[in-house]
Structure 1
Amino acid sequence: MSDIVLGGATQAEIERTPLPPTYLAAHLRVEDADMFLGVSDKDVRKSLRVGRVPMPELAPDEVVVAVAASSVNYNTVWSAMFEPIPTFRFLKHFARQGGWAKRHDLPHQVVGSDAAGVVVRVGSGVRHWKAGDHVVVSPAYVDDQEPASHADGMMGAEQRAWGFETNFGGLAEYTVVRASQLIPKPAHLTWEEAAVNTLCAGTAYRMLVSDKGARMKQGDVVLVWGAAGGLGAYAVQFVRNGGGIPVAIVSSEEKAAAVRALGCEIVIDRREFGLTDRAADDPAEAVAIGKRLGRIIRDRTGRDPDIVFEHVGRATFGISVFVVRRGGVVVTCGSSTGYQHLFDNRYLWMKLKRVIGSHVANLQEQWEANRLFELGAVAPTLSAVYPLAEVAEATRLVQTNQHIGKVAVLCLAPETGLGVTDQELRARVGADRLSPLLGAR
């Protein structure tokens, strides 16, 4: 099947080729869920397995995608550490809906929330997609029968993160997704370049650009924590494209160089303002650090940040609340250093600041973000590529924050550089601009 699909077969040829009964996938086993109890270093290489799993049955509103490439996100790290709870609990909760949802409650979970590949089967209710279509996959698994979903797909109570709160994720040779998750793959990108964008770029787009997020405008100073990471590197690009001024926080000179390669001119190493672990537990320490950081930002931009792009969580949240300007916005989508945040609330209420929670992106926002890739206005933040057999090592790299940008995983694609169907556009955009972080470590 892989040779046929990736070799440019027709719709009819793909439909005539039988799907395999099993496929290779990165997955977790339910019997391992307690393996890290009392362990300080929850090394994901011990829990994340690569092996064959059964091909699931296809629901009417779903498609099967042959996954050429995927990528590692921090939710895969959480899954593989079984934190904050084992994600098998999500699968059991989902299965209680009955019907097709029961398929997800298995003794294994295929993880991964990004994918680029080729549609190979469509359910009986799918209208706008066919076998042979090249697609990327949105991680927003939305219930279109919930009223709230029709106002904003992320507001439905049954919205889930595919490959984290569902089974059949993208770090595999095949994945099963709802048709409402599909987005056309940018034709000038390789499989691995396309695979690293959807989750992080869509999330950053909603946080900064969408009317559901911070509503960034031209001239806004935007403080971006973890600016060399998967989310931060897209945030920096969206700020620049929107006429804002990104202020990047990084942890090393190597990461500073990577952020500068994305066009960010104001880069601050966290050692410059003395970021310490005490800020997580002592609001007074967070304020003291925030004062030092605020002086640096004002010196380099002339004002306090209008927006803080926050996803680090416990280690930085108190600083973010303090340092954003009066009336400014802290927009947060995660907490990689911990979910319990301590901060001095006086600086929030008395200075009329706002905190906005943001989660992934609805399908319209994902299509809007994807269009920027199609135009060459935003570059993939791909830095490294691993084969599926080494996905645990790739995930460990992200777990220990040793990566820059995004780490891709080749699934069915036998090598890098494949999947481009518009070489003219690739040449016009400039291949050197498409992976500015490739090889950065």
Structure 2
Amino acid sequence: MSQLGEIQQAILNDDLGAVASLDVPESYRGVTVHKDEAGMFEGLESRDKDPRKSLHVDEVPTPELGPGEALVAVMASAINYNTVWTSIFEPVSTFKFLERYGRLSPLSKRHDLPYHVVGSDLSGVVLRTGPGVHNWKPGDEVVAHCLNVELEGPDGHNDTMLDTEQRIWGFETNFGGLAEIALVKANQLMPKPGHLTWEEAASPGLVNSTAYRQLVSRNGADMKQGDVVLIWGASGGLGSYATQYALNGGAIPVCVVSSPEKAEICRKLGAELIIDRNAEGYKFWKDEHNQDPKEWQRFGKKIRELTGGEDPDIVFEHPGRETFGASVYAARKGGTIVTCASTSGYMHQFDNRYLWMNLKRIIGSHFANYRESWEANRLIAKGLIHPTLSKTYSLEETGQAALDVHRNAHQGKVGVLALAPEEGLGVRNHELREKHIDGINAFRNV
């Protein structure tokens, strides 16, 4: 049996104490993009770029373990939009990130390679820890958040997201989670929720933490009870968590979706106020260069019809260019537009009169710091927020999984099995799972 096979068997047999005594393999399989293929999609529109052509499953060397780091045997991972961006080499090739990181120190030079092992989520078991790691040991069942920070300068010591060397693991660093082994900093690790399977536990990390900071944290919108929260893509990977946080925190979500099926998912979560933007036929842009304020007005009227005349206190923004003008218009006087990502385009346009004359605020939000990620994971572990996993692929099928997300042909989150040989493994707390099984499975078989 191979070394990875021995590790896998020990985990599947719940013999986690044996992990420390097993040898770490010299190589493992990881999902990669190749530096010499960075120009393969030149001349194509974004929608025509196919991740199945650029994402490979390669045997790669296991990286050297440095101080403050951990090697994790990955049981499962998940697809995020940053993996789609990586796979289509937009807005820039991620090899530029790896080159920049490689210039920082001899240790970070490890990341500057002609291949990039991608992925910003994982659930798994700690294999080894580097010098200076005290809170984690081999055999610990963990999930990882994706914030990679150096914290050598002062800027990150109030909020680690402000560290000058802040990066997203598996996107701006190498050795990501779509692999059999991953390299993380120890301060990325968090306890795996015991009532979830490996694939369920892997799926919330990036989007759950992002939604928590963006909506709940004081660093984001600082949502309070009774707030009307307009949520774009409310059944998607990010929006599905925003919908849960709004409901869990006593707010009133107005869920914007694009189909009756996605509307039904929001109803399953407990939301009542739903706008099917396709059924309503909103066209916020007349053409490539000009928006249609009349459509903003029609959209705002629809929101008020649902809320009893109230405009949103908070707009949860992430589509970007396509919707941002409508978002600024729709927010109430003194309201907040909190934005992360820009899946429809980065160059936002809006009518500033609606912002400045109505004292609205735009807040930029990017992932989450360790404390915010820990709190978000704690809510998952307590069964107060649930994973939104809809479908799971094998490691070999990662290209298809990324294509699903690229084309918005998915619901919630799409998972990927690594060392877990099948779905349904890894549950420790069956009693808590049974209590929340409907919430856990809300996005399944939709």
TM-score, normalised on structure 2? 0.96
Assess, with a 3 A threshold, how the Cα gap between structure 1 residues 274 and 238 changes in structure 2: closer, same or farther.
same
Q: Hey, what's the Cα distance between the residues in 2 that align with 1:84 and 1:279?
A: 25
Q: Hey, what's the Cα distance between the residues in 1 that align with 2:30 and 2:163?
A: 29
Q: Tell me which residue corresponds to 2:41.
A: 36
Q: Tell me which residue corresponds to 1:238.
A: 245
Alpha-carbon distance, 1:329 to partner: 0.4
Could you tell which deviates more after superposition, 251-260 or 330-339?
Answer: 251-260
| Counterpart amino acid of residue 15 in structure 2 | A
SS in 2 for 1:419: coil
Could you tell which deviates more after superposition, 80-89 or 290-299?
Answer: 290-299
Q: Tell me which residue corresponds to 1:301.
A: 307
1:194-244 per-residue CA deviation (whole Å, 9 max, x = no partner) reads: 011010010000011100000111111000001111000000000001100
Assess, with a 3 A threshold, how the Cα gap between structure 1 residues 277 and 397 changes in structure 2: closer, same or farther.
farther
Assess, with a 3 A threshold, how the Cα gap between structure 1 residues 141 and 279 changes in structure 2: closer, same or farther.
farther
1:144 partnered with 2:112: no
Out of 375, 378, 382, the position equivalent to 1:371 is 378
Q: Hey, what's the Cα distance between the residues in 2 that align with 1:277 and 1:400?
A: 20
| Counterpart amino acid of residue 95 in structure 2 | F
Q: Hey, what's the Cα distance between the residues in 2 that align with 1:430 and 1:362?
A: 28
Q: Tell me which residue corresponds to 1:5.
A: 11
What are the within-5 Å matches in structure 2 for residues 46-57 of structure 1?
46-57=53-64
Could you tell which deviates more after superposition, 343-352 or 143-152?
Answer: 143-152
Q: Hey, what's the Cα distance between the residues in 1 that align with 2:95 and 2:34?
A: 9
Assess, with a 3 A threshold, how the Cα gap between structure 1 residues 148 and 7 changes in structure 2: closer, same or farther.
farther
Alpha-carbon distance, 1:432 to partner: 2.4
Q: Hey, what's the Cα distance between the residues in 2 that align with 1:47 and 1:10?
A: 36
Assess, with a 3 A threshold, how the Cα gap between structure 1 residues 283 and 321 changes in structure 2: closer, same or farther.
farther
Alpha-carbon distance, 1:274 to partner: 2.8
SS in 2 for 1:230: coil
Out of 96, 111, 131, the position equivalent to 1:124 is 131
Whether the 8 Å CA contact 1:283–1:318 is kept in 2: the answer is no
Alpha-carbon distance, 1:273 to partner: 4.1
Q: Hey, what's the Cα distance between the residues in 1 that align with 2:226 and 2:26?
A: 55
Provide the identity percentage.
53
| Counterpart amino acid of residue 231 in structure 1 | L
Out of 399, 407, 418, the position equivalent to 1:411 is 418
1:252 partnered with 2:266: no
1:156-194 per-residue CA deviation (whole Å, 9 max, x = no partner) reads: 110000000000000001100000100111111110110
Task: Provide the aligned length of Structure 1 versus Structure 2.
Answer: 437
What are the within-5 Å matches in structure 2 for residues 39-438 of structure 1?
39-40=44-45, 41-276=48-283, 278=285, 281-282=288-289, 284-285=291-292, 287-302=293-308, 303-427=310-434, 429-438=435-444
Alpha-carbon distance, 1:278 to partner: 1.9
Whether the 8 Å CA contact 1:5–1:66 is kept in 2: the answer is no
Alpha-carbon distance, 1:282 to partner: 4.9
Whether the 8 Å CA contact 2:259–2:279 is kept in 1: the answer is no
Q: Hey, what's the Cα distance between the residues in 2 that align with 1:117 and 1:330?
A: 36
1:25 partnered with 2:37: no
Alpha-carbon distance, 1:19 to partner: 1.2
SS in 2 for 1:278: coil
Whether the 8 Å CA contact 1:279–1:318 is kept in 2: the answer is no
Assess, with a 3 A threshold, how the Cα gap between structure 1 residues 279 and 104 changes in structure 2: closer, same or farther.
farther
Whether the 8 Å CA contact 2:269–2:439 is kept in 1: the answer is no
SS in 2 for 1:99: coil
Q: Hey, what's the Cα distance between the residues in 2 that align with 1:215 and 1:304?
A: 17
Alpha-carbon distance, 1:124 to partner: 1.5
| Counterpart amino acid of residue 259 in structure 2 | S
| Counterpart amino acid of residue 412 in structure 1 | L
Q: Hey, what's the Cα distance between the residues in 2 that align with 1:280 and 1:369?
A: 40
1:394-424 per-residue CA deviation (whole Å, 9 max, x = no partner) reads: 0000000000000000000001111111122
| Counterpart amino acid of residue 32 in structure 1 | E
Q: Hey, what's the Cα distance between the residues in 1 that align with 2:56 and 2:282?
A: 36
Q: Hey, what's the Cα distance between the residues in 2 that align with 1:392 and 1:144?
A: 34
| Counterpart amino acid of residue 244 in structure 1 | A
Q: Hey, what's the Cα distance between the residues in 1 that align with 2:96 and 2:425?
A: 37
Q: Hey, what's the Cα distance between the residues in 2 that align with 1:164 and 1:72?
A: 12
Structure 2: tracts of 5 or more residues without a match: 1-6
Q: Hey, what's the Cα distance between the residues in 1 that align with 2:156 and 2:441?
A: 35
| Counterpart amino acid of residue 19 in structure 1 | V
1:261-304 per-residue CA deviation (whole Å, 9 max, x = no partner) reads: 1111111100354322626845541x222111111111111200
Structure 1: tracts of 5 or more residues without a match: none
| Counterpart amino acid of residue 55 in structure 1 | T
Assess, with a 3 A threshold, how the Cα gap between structure 1 residues 24 and 293 changes in structure 2: closer, same or farther.
same
Q: Hey, what's the Cα distance between the residues in 2 that align with 1:424 and 1:273?
A: 43
